[in-house]
A = this chain, B = another copy of it.
């Protein structure tokens, strides 16, 4: 994300904290900044690595707790991901994902067509729809060129 938008997001986050009476700590701001700066859907550990240089003495525990807070504020999303550890994304606008079956890399996919799908009515499940995204599964360029992921 470009620096101007990052500052804008941080600003909105600060307002949100004041609104809710949440203490605005260095950790919260810098961990959010670390997620905003990455567009590769980092794990908690990746976020920790990015943020620890800017926050002396930062603890992994805090990263987990702050990410949880950011998710419940709706500032960050927890991704649906096949790998063993949680992944996060600060892009909360509707978008879609290319997921590599081999290396588990997640690439953002922008498409107006996919953003405006007509979803079937699912009211009979009692399910209240809030959003959706399309997960496209396949093999990324890098894995493909290594000859990985050839089926059967």
In the complex, the count of this chain's copies comes to 2
B101 touches A125 (CB 8 A): no
A53 CB within 8 Å of chain B: no
Q: Secondary structure at chain A's binding surface: helix, strand, loop or mixed?
A: mixed
A74 CB within 8 Å of chain B: yes
Complex: how many Å from CA A138 to CA B62? 28
A18 CB within 8 Å of chain B: no
Q: How many residues of chain A have a CB within 8 Å of chain B?
A: 44
The residues of B that contact A107 with a CB separation of less than 8 Å are 125, 127
A136 CB within 8 Å of chain B: yes
B-binding residues in A (CB < 8 A): 74, 78-82, 84, 86, 98-101, 107, 109, 111, 113-114, 117-120, 122, 125-142, 144-145, 151-152
Question: What 6 A-B pairs come out closest when comparing CB atoms?
Answer: A126-B141, A80-B80, A130-B138, A132-B136, A129-B138, A111-B120
